[in-house]
Structure 1
Amino acid sequence: MKILAFQGSPRFGGNTDLLLSAFLRGAEEAGAEVRRYDLYRMDYKGCLECGGCDRTGECVLEDDLTPVYTDLLDSDVIVLASPIFFYNLTSRTQALVERAQALWVRRYVLKNLSPRDAHGLLLCLGATRGKKLFEGVQRVVRYFFDAVGVTYRGGLFYRGIEKRGAVREHPTALSEAEALGRAVAGGLPPERWSLSDP
């Protein structure tokens, strides 16, 4: 199994980083092949709405996201991990989502990208405890996964986590992430994954 992961927090060693690392540790222990991108270590822009992909389904921008398109289409599971900034994904994560426009064109305009048996997950944390904290980002992520032909399955969501490393004090977050990684890579069907209620 190939798992592609995006770490979308600018705070390395922070809560999102730790949560994703726990997930990937469990996945690797279960035998998955893992590729991870730390988005804040990469040089790229969001979509410029230039229309360059309209005929080919290929993004005309050449930057650190260029090789990512192949990975997006070649993975069995794609994991987005992002903290909540102002009830939204981080800017780097949002820029990645925008750049899926080329694949959206490929799927819906050119009709040469079919859905596949691949799954998408979101790992998300926020400092506040708002009831609708994860509502907007889930809608964005759902459309991102749809554009790349992947089925969004949900994920793990944690409120009230802010200080660097505070996720370590959460009673279950890291163990749940590791267990989810192990279940996903171990071949359990999605309906048996332990996902949290946003």
Structure 2
Amino acid sequence: MKVLVLFGSPRKKHTYELTKAFIEGLEKDTEVEFIDTPKLNISHCMGCNYCLKEMKCFIKDDMEDILNKIEEADIIVLSSPVYFGTVTSYLKVLIDRCQPLYNKRFVLKVEDKVKKKGFLIFTAGGKNKRMIDSMNLVAKFFMLSCGAELVDTIYCLNTDDNGLDKEVLQRAHMSAKSIL
């Protein structure tokens, strides 16, 4: 089983710790690839519609490899802190460049042989749950475009004041264990 973690935080703090708890809950023989998106070279989508005709993007950057990894993964984990009510810009540019995946599934109507599973991991410094609701809109559409069924959303609010809740860390660990 291949797990692809798309990690969107430029820092290794709360979101990283929560993601790590999820990964540690996976079976030992699970193949996990952790993509640290702030370290990638991904250009912005130009809205040129090249991918509608060719089913790939003409821009040559790290996204070519990421699209292949998304297609090969059995499980996709999208992990991000809340930045202004949504995923970080590192993940947003990656999500925007997934238009070829959307086109494959919703324009060409190519059916996936096996449905992927999707997990969302979010942290927010503030207390307002609406931040998570807005994150879910973007993330759920991303998962749909990747051919993944959303299985669980794991989040922790108010990390600026309280850090990570131990119960949420345990929940992340148990959510990963529930995959098989």
- TM bucket by the smaller chain? over 0.9
1:115–1:150 contact (8 Å) kept in structure 2: no
Provide the TM-score with structure 1 as the length reference: 0.84
1:57–1:105 contact (8 Å) kept in structure 2: yes
The CA distance in 2 between the partners of 1:179 and 1:46, in whole Å, is 36
The CA distance in 1 between the partners of 2:72 and 2:49, in whole Å, is 25
Look up the match of 1:194: none
2:129–2:157 contact (8 Å) kept in structure 1: no
Gaps of 5+ in 2: none
Amino acid at match of 1:72: I
Q: Secondary structure at the match of 1:116?
A: coil
1:3–1:79 contact (8 Å) kept in structure 2: yes
| C-alpha spacing 1:149/1:121, structure 2 compared with 1 (3 Å) | same
Gaps of 5+ in 1: 188-198
1:117 pairs, out of 103, 115, 118, with: 115
| C-alpha spacing 1:113/1:92, structure 2 compared with 1 (3 Å) | farther
The CA distance in 2 between the partners of 1:111 and 1:144, in whole Å, is 16
Look up the match of 1:8: 8
Could you list the per-position Cα deviations for residues 137-193 of structure 1 after superposition, in whole angstroms to 9, with x for gaps in the alignment? 101111111111111223101110127x932xx232222222222222xx1xxxxxx
2:152–2:175 contact (8 Å) kept in structure 1: no
Q: Secondary structure at the match of 1:153?
A: strand
The CA distance in 2 between the partners of 1:142 and 1:151, in whole Å, is 9
Look up the match of 2:52: 54
Look up the match of 2:36: 38
User: Percent sequence identity over matched residues?
Assistant: 26
Look up the match of 2:173: 178
1:107 pairs, out of 92, 105, 108, with: 105
**After the TM superposition, which segments of 4 or more aligned residues of structure 1 sit over 6 Å from their partners?**
none
The CA distance in 1 between the partners of 2:177 and 2:153, in whole Å, is 14
Deviation of 1:49 after TM superposition, in Å, equals 0.7
Aligned residue pairs total 180
Write out aligned runs for 1:120-159 (5 A). Answer: 120-159=118-157
